[in-house]
Amino acid sequence: MAEIATFGAGCFWGVEATFQRVPGVIDTAVGYSGGDMPNPTYKDVCTDETGHAEVVQVTFDPAKVSYEQLLDIFWQAHDPTQVNRQGPDFGTQYRTAIFFHSPEQEAAAKKSRAALDASGKFKRPIATEIAQASTFYPAEEYHQKYLQKRGVASCHF
């Protein structure tokens, strides 16, 4: 049975493209989560006033890829020490976040974050928020599979 994972790691286009390439990932969708405004638009979220993060919702087959493997990919896909920014993008909508869907995901995310923090890989502490998944609002259609539609592999600088 498929499961859902939700990650915020900056601009959702590149994060989505990263997860699309993972064997065992069934589907991805970009959108907004973690805020308090119902049905936000991209324009709303960009005001930095809705509380939402740009996120990727990953539907995956746990028999082919584990949640822990997805966490490893998440950590590698961005700088988890940056607060409310990734690269040139800044604001709370670009924060690093894991929105868990079960107690098992919460425990795995916290264990993974603690191990990465203890590893010494980063000079600064991990800033990643770990929070209960709330309503996922899909982004506008033109944002879905954005890089794939344009034949671009990533948007990293």
**Mind telling me the catalytic residues?**
11
d(C-alpha 63, C-alpha 67), whole Å: 10
Tokens 């609002």 correspond to: 137
- Sheet containing 53-60: give its strands across: 129-132, 96-100, 3-9, 53-60, 25-33, 137-138
Burial of 69 (0-12, 13-18, 19+ CB in 10 A): middle
8 Å CB contact between 33 and 53: yes
Query: Which tokens hold the place of 75?
Result: 């950590």
